């Protein structure tokens, strides 16, 4: 082997490397994009689950929006107080905490409570089941129980209990609202976290018809309306709706309700689907 080959190899590789090195050095100066050093700190302060509840595509976009002044320190709904405090620290302003809601599934009907009228064997998704002749459940308004909301949840806060009811782990739920969009029946709502008295049925059927197919349905008897002292609960479209601004959480409607549709969370009774955390 010719020893000069080594020199040639060194020159060839070294020369090309030097050429590209210079090219990259020039490019890094000429094509520099000024990024705010605070951007990375902001991204660290956000939860990073990219849920999109803030209305920006992902946490990085939200951080950029905060820098641009398009969003305040309370931009992150999911991160709540911690994220707001982190962002406030980076931006050097006082924290105003975001109100952080929690998801509520407006149905307690599992396989033991609600009648089944068919057996469904199609695509494993609530939307598909809903389109297929209204699904297997006798109640046309209730939870289908296949778990599209569970799959949509970025923090695994929704799970299926042994009776095929959707339950929310309140301490995990960030209130991002992705499950609200996922549910084909519109049963999920983000409610204030400190609201503990909740009405959980959205059946528009009249009392008798609803009662025949489900043991935990609102029968629109209006007993809760009469029991309420602060005019906070009303029957609309044949189901009870609580006005969370007026509700004092006295619990009188819970005692009045004959079908256990109004519940207080967290409950000790395992009958109540909402708020059970295990």
Partner 1 sequence: MNEVYRYFLIFLGALLVYNILLIRFIALCPLIGVSTQVETSIGMAMSVLFVMTMSTAASWVAWNYVLTPLHVGQFLYIPVFILIIASLVQFTEMVIKKTSPPLYRAMGIYLPLITTNCAVLAAATEAVKPGFLKLNVVYNFSLPEALIYTIGVAAGFGLVIVLFACIRERLETAPIPHSFRGAPIAFIIAALMSLAFMGFANLLGL
Provide the binding-site residues for partner 1, judged by CB under 8 A. 5, 8-9, 11-13, 15-17, 20, 23-24, 27-28, 30-33, 123-125, 128
Tokens, residue 120? 């469904």
Task: Please give the Cα distance from 104 to 140 (Å, whole number).
Answer: 19
Is residue 179 a contact partner of residue 158, using CB atoms and an 8 Å limit?
yes
* Smaller CB separation from partner 1, 20 or 270: 20
Using the 8-state DSSP alphabet, how is residue 99 labeled?
A: P
- The residue among 61 and 95 lying less far from partner 1, judged by its C-beta, is 61
For the bound state, the minimum distance from the C-beta of residue 27 to partner 1, rounded and expressed in Å, comes to 5
> Smallest gap, in angstroms, from Cβ of residue 184 to partner 1?
15
Q: Can you tell me whether residue 240 is helix, strand or coil? A: strand
236 upstream amide cis, omega within 30 of 0: no
Which of residues 28 and 269 has its CB atom nearest to partner 1 in the complex?
A: 28
The minimum distance between CB 23 and partner 1, in angstroms, equals: 6
User: In whole angstroms, how close is the CB of 135 to partner 1 at the nearest point?
Assistant: 16
Pick 55 or 122: Cβ nearer partner 1:
122
- The smaller minimum CB distance to partner 1, of residues 7 and 156, is found at 7
- Least CB distance from residue 16 to partner 1, whole Å? 6
Are 149 and 158 a contacting pair, CB within 8 Å? yes
Cβ proximity to partner 1, 7 vs 270, nearer residue: 7
The distance of closest approach from Cβ of residue 127 to partner 1 in the complex, given in angstroms and rounded to an integer, is 11
For the record, the structure tokens of 248 come out as 């004092």
CB of 34 to partner 1, least distance (A): 10
Q: For Cα atoms 212, 214, 218, give the angle at the middle one, nearest 5 degrees.
A: 100
Sign of CA dihedral 67, 70, 74, 76: negative
Q: Which residues contact 165 (CB under 8 A, 6 or more apart)?
A: 105, 107, 108, 109, 110, 143, 145, 273
- The encoded tokens of residue 260 equal 């256990």
Closer to partner 1 by Cβ: residue 160 or 235: 160
Joined tokens for residue 163: 């009776």
Name the DSSP letter for residue 146.
S
């Amino acid at each position: 082997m010719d020893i000069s080959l080594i020199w040639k190899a060194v020159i060839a590789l070294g020369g090309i490397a030097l050429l590209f090195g210079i090219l990259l050095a020039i490019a890094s100066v000429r094509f520099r994009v000024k990024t705010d050093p605070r951007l990375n700190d902001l991204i660290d302060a956000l939860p990073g689950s990219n849920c999109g509840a803030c209305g920006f595509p992902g946490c990085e976009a939200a951080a950029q929006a905060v820098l641009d002044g398009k969003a305040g320190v309370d931009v992150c709904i999911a991160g709540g107080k911690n994220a707001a405090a982190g962002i406030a620290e980076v931006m050097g302003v006082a924290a105003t905490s975001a109100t952080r809601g929690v998801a509520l599934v407006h149905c307690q009907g599992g396989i033991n409570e609600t009648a089944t009228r068919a057996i469904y064997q199609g695509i494993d998704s609530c939307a598909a089941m809903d389109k297929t002749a209204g699904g297997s459940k006798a109640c046309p308004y209730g939870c289908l129980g296949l778990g599209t909301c569970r799959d949509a949840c970025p923090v695994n806060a929704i799970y299926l209990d042994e009776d095929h009811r959707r339950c929310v782990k309140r301490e995990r739920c960030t209130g991002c609202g992705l499950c609200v969009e996922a549910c084909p029946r519109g049963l999920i709502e983000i409610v204030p976290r400190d609201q503990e008295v909740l009405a959980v049925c959205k059946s528009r059927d009249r009392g008798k018809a609803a009662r025949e197919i489900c043991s935990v349905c609102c029968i629109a008897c209006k007993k809760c309306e009469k029991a309420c002292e602060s005019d906070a609960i009303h029957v609309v479209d044949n189901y009870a709706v609580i006005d969370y601004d007026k509700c004092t959480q006295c619990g009188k409607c819970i005692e009045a309700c004959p079908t256990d549709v109004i519940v207080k969370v967290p409950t000790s009774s395992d009958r109540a689907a909402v708020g059970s955390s295990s």
